[in-house]
Amino acid sequence: MQKRKLPELLAPAGNLECALAAFESGADAVYAGLSKFNAREKSDNFTLDQLSRLSCYAGKHKKKLYLTLNTLVKERELEEIYRDLEEISRLAIDAVIVQDIGVVHLIKKFFPWISIHASTQMGIHNSEGVKLAGSLGIDRVILERQVTIDELAMIAEISPLELEVFIHGALCCSLSGNCLFSSWIGGWSGNRGKCKQPCRRRYHSTSEGNGFYFSTRDLYTLDMIPELKQTGVSSLKIEGRLKSADYVGRTVTAYRMILDAAEGTEKELLGRAKTILSGSAGRKWSSGFYTEESLKTVVDHTSIGVSGQLCGEVTDISVKGITVKVSREIKVGDRLRIQPRSADEGPRITVTAMKAGKRSTEKARRDDRVTILLSRDSIKENLSPGSLVFKVGQTPRKLSVNPAEIPLLPELRIINLNVSITPDRIAVSYSDFPDTEPFIHRTTFETAEKHGLAADTVVSFFRATRNERIKAGAIEVSLEGNLFIPAGVLKKIRREFWEQTAERLETDLRPEKSSMSITAYMQYHFSTRNKEAKNNGNPDNRKTWMIPENSTRIPGIDPDDIQSVSIFHSENTRHEVFLPVFTPESRLAEIKSLIDTAYAKGVRRFRARSLYQINILKEYPDLYVTAAYPLPVSNSFAARELAGNGVSCVQGWVELEKPALEDLLLFNPLETELYCYGRPHVLVTRAEIETEGEITDSHGVAFIVKKDKNEGITFLYGKKVMSVPAVSGTAECLDLTNAEPEEEDITSFNFFKEWV
């Protein structure tokens, strides 16, 4: 029996210190973000220089570095993303983690050598989603966190791509990419890296009283590592780009110990690994969403669910700082979170100085009363005596290298190639420089007696540039005949080619001559502007009404309007069916059967609400497919990608403000629809939620918790109905599945304010 390759251990890097702590503790790879377009904008994040140093270090130590570009992107931000990718492409990044399929499209078009990993924010949760990712040119899928371990094993068995799963850290209550919670209450979007964590707050339920109904425990899987290894996943990921270097180092050390343990010895090491891990401050542990049992307990509505080790309570606040009654040791250098009793977000501080009375002290023990000195700016107005103090980090061990002394990576030039081999020559042309003369080596090659030269062999040879300034990008190979070329000959030709290429970098191969320059990007972006074929999502201007099961005549619906009904009740519709938000692997066959049945009955309009559905529907002829919430389309490049996969109409992402929607409309190559009325879900989860019906937060904002028996998941809706005016050139979608017509308690959501 062939021994399985160990999965990669992937660690978070909120800054350069955390990345180095991860590598020195045994991580195989880290993931990091720049200051924008990443889902953890509150972490320190990296400058391009810091990323260059980290890339240099990773390459030298045979480690990997992944960059996060895992947020949704507006139309006007596409150029900024392009320019960021230009810089990133010169830094030897091993892959980019992406949420927006528009960014996927941009990378494939202009930076095809960059490997793409589908972020968990893309919401891929079954094998059909993985297959679609493969067809989009994605190399690895980071699966939705709410996939159980049994479902993971089923997906991994047939996956054409590498799979990555989370093994430790904070969990979102909602299905990834499906959360509007933070955006709904304050305009700060989790899909833009600005989540305010409303799921951690206390809510009042009319039926159950007060509780933290959406606050999840932290994921912990040390004792599941042997089972996860057996699934064949490629990467095991630790969450925590907001965490300290100490947390990252301890967590990596613990998981490295169990991951490397010989089969059958894991239990002997588990206690030691747990002890190491317990020193990293976090919430109570859980198996997350991996088991049927943990789905019922991952949310503990009785617990405040704040990250860290409780170490005291604020007894007084002054202009000098905060006075704390200590319940667990606090030292200078510790990182603390001051948590109001309301569970609203509190400040994080680093202890730089403490006083016990008038005496300075480096350490405070249980039952001591100390004043932690703070600047006035560090003390938030909403803090009050009684706030809890949690330790979220401490001074990490000293690194073996000074981050400032790591050299910058020499700037790379990426060269894309076309290699053509015929019986009498090898010709290598520069894909992005069509006016540049190709390199040609003329000779006569023999015909192979058995297995001839393979394209993969040619690619591997030409990747070795032997020049730190040059890196081979995408390499296309065409072979004529079954040829035999000795390895020594190929090496000689390769060496001649790259030596000539190096000489031409400042002449024929100057960046401004590239067909993939910013000019080429702008021409491509503007190619769909004002396209005449783009009219309205419904050519005869009909509206689409999403209607509930067994609905009676609804005022306002014209007989010629489109009525859309759930696939679970498709026998009731004349026009369209909408598909479920989430379909676990075990129910894929059921959904495919229901689609078959609807198609056989003559249904030709389908409303896709998850990427996996695009992969299923593109196999049917003559369909009109609308990509709709929560399948996000916030820019025209996303629409282009969907257009190539059988989609006819896209619904503008519900968080977009009016100007951003109009920008999308201006460049969208497909028909455009607008969600004009209804209650889009603001959170959806497989977790057991201990209440149903109306709930309110401490500010009186009301929500509705509803459990869906057909989908087997729980939805959270805003009490207010979203209602926005139609935009010229778009079709209207009116969603009555969770709203009555013409309700008066309405909100325009982000429509008249900027989505941030």
The lowest-confidence range among 50-54, 285-289, 512-516 is 512-516
- Taking phi over 0 as left and psi of -120 to 50 as alpha, with beta for the rest, 272 belongs to alpha
Q: How far apart are CA 327 and CA 428, in angstroms?
A: 70
User: How high does pLDDT run on average in the chain?
Assistant: 91
Average pLDDT over residues 206-235: 95
DSSP, residue by residue, 524-561: HHGGGTT-TT---SSTT---EEE--TT----TT--TTS
Q: Quick count: other Cβ atoms within 10 Å of Cβ 79? A: 14
The separation between CA 30 and the C-alpha centre of its own chain, rounded to angstroms, equals: 15
Helix (H) or strand (E) holding 421: strand 413-422
Tell which wins on pLDDT, 425 or 572. 425
Per-residue model confidence (pLDDT) at position 537: 42
Residue with tokens 């590598």: 23
Q: How far apart are CA 442 and CA 426, in angstroms?
A: 7
At 362, the amino acid letter reads: E
Q: Quick count: other Cβ atoms within 10 Å of Cβ 376? A: 8
Q: How far apart are CA 152 and CA 142, in angstroms?
A: 11
Could you give the percent of the chain with pLDDT greater than 70? 94
Question: Encoding tokens for residue 380?
Answer: 């938030």
Per-residue model confidence (pLDDT) at position 536: 43
pLDDT exceeds 60 at position 297: yes
Contact 605, 628 (CB under 8 A): no
pLDDT exceeds 80 at position 542: no
Quick check: helix, strand or coil at residue 78?
Answer: helix
Contact 677, 629 (CB under 8 A): no
Task: Show the 3-state SS of 283-331.
Answer: CCEECCCCCHHHHHHCECCCCCCCCCEEEEEEEEECCCEEEEEECCCEE
pLDDT exceeds 90 at position 380: no
pTM above 0.85, yes or no: yes
Beta strands in 150-208 (DSSP E): 162-169, 203-205
Per-residue model confidence (pLDDT) at position 410: 85
Q: Using CA atoms in the order 216, 220, 226, 232, what is the torsion angle rounded to 10 degrees? A: 50
The lowest-confidence range among 522-531, 630-639, 695-704 is 522-531
Helix (H) or strand (E) holding 272: helix 266-278
Q: How far apart are CA 429 and CA 508, in angstroms?
A: 12
Residue with tokens 């990608």: 641
Per-residue model confidence (pLDDT) at position 58: 96
Question: Encoding tokens for residue 57?
Answer: 């270090």
Question: Encoding tokens for residue 179?
Answer: 């959360």
Backbone φ and ψ for 732, nearest 5 degrees, come out as: -105, 135
- Taking phi over 0 as left and psi of -120 to 50 as alpha, with beta for the rest, 6 belongs to beta
Helix (H) or strand (E) holding 266: helix 266-278
Nearest alpha carbon to residue 751 among 692, 685, 700, 677: 677
Domains of the chain by start residue, with CATH: 8-171+219-278 (3.20.20.70), 309-342+346-403 (2.40.30.10), 414-524 (no CATH), 528-684+712-747 (3.20.20)
Nearest alpha carbon to residue 88 among 412, 390, 345: 412
DSSP designation for 419: E
DSSP, residue by residue, 676-689: EEE--EEEEESSPP
Tell which wins on pLDDT, 337 or 104. 104
Nearest alpha carbon to residue 98 among 526, 528, 609, 611: 611
pLDDT exceeds 70 at position 572: no
Question: Encoding tokens for residue 476?
Answer: 């296309």
Contact 328, 365 (CB under 8 A): no
Buried residues in 1-27 as b, exposed as e (16+ CB within 10 A): eeeeeebbbbbbbbbbbbbbbbbbbbb
At 77, the amino acid letter reads: E
Per-residue model confidence (pLDDT) at position 598: 94
Q: How far apart are CA 166 and CA 288, in angstroms?
A: 10
- List, in order, residues 6 or more apart from 555 with CB less than 8 Å away: 741, 742
**Given CA atoms 235, 238, 244, 246 in this order, what sign does their dihedral have?**
negative
Backbone φ and ψ for 314, nearest 5 degrees, come out as: -70, 125
Q: How far apart are CA 186 and CA 202, in angstroms?
A: 16
Largest CA distance in the chain: 90
pLDDT exceeds 70 at position 539: no
- List, in order, residues 6 or more apart from 62 with CB less than 8 Å away: none
Question: Encoding tokens for residue 255?
Answer: 């998981």
Place 577 in a pLDDT band, splitting at 50, 70 and 90.
very high
Residue 696 half-sphere exposure, CB side, CA atoms within 13 Å? Answer: 6
Q: How far apart are CA 717 and CA 706, in angstroms?
A: 8
Counting Cβ atoms within 10 Å, is residue 729 exposed (0-12), middle (13-18) or buried (19+)? middle
pLDDT digits (tens, 9 = 90+) for 308-346: 788 999 999 888 889 999 999 999 988 888 888 766 667
Q: Tell how strand 218-220 and strand 713-718 pair up.
A: unpaired
Place 41 in a pLDDT band, splitting at 50, 70 and 90.
low
Nearest alpha carbon to residue 101 among 127, 64, 79, 70: 70
Q: How far apart are CA 16 and CA 403, in angstroms?
A: 7
The lowest-confidence range among 225-234, 396-405, 727-736 is 396-405
Could you give the percent of the chain with pLDDT greater than 90? 74
